[in-house]
């Protein structure tokens, strides 16, 4: 079994959603890049990253997502608003 630690991003910050509602995020005052590195240091072999802004069609977190992927040093499974091939490959 593989356990995926997860980060959920909204407006460049780590969040959790109350009952899955985008309009009620709980903000975590942690650095998303350092949190991803911490997952890898703790032994995670994979992680999951969801772009909550991407779910709404936004792309403001793209640079941060790239930074997280590079910093984590482990495979990252992405979720959140990938509706076209261009949005995945771009």
Structural domain includes residue 1: no
pLDDT values of the chain reduced to their tens digit, one per residue, 90 residues? 888 999 999 999 999 988 888 888 999 999 999 999 999 999 999 999 999 999 888 889 999 999 999 999 999 999 987 767 776 665
pLDDT for position 59: 87
The domain containing residue 77 runs over which residues? 6-89
Tell me how far apart the alpha carbons of residues 35 and 3 are, in angstroms, rounded to a whole number: 16
Structural domain includes residue 61: yes
Structural domain includes residue 60: yes
Instruction: Report the predicted TM-score, pTM, of the whole model to 2 decimal places.
Output: 0.86
pLDDT for position 78: 93
pLDDT for position 87: 66
């Amino acid at each position: 079994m593989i356990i995926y630690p997860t980060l959920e991003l909204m407006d460049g910050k780590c969040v959790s959603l109350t009952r899955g509602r985008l309009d009620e995020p709980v903000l975590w005052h942690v650095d998303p890049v350092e949190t991803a590195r911490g997952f890898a240091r703790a032994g995670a072999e994979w992680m999951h990253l969801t772009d909550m802004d991407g779910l709404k069609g936004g792309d403001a977190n793209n640079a941060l997502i790239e930074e997280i992927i590079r910093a984590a040093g482990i495979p990252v499974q992405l979720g959140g608003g990938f509706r076209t091939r261009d949005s995945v490959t771009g």
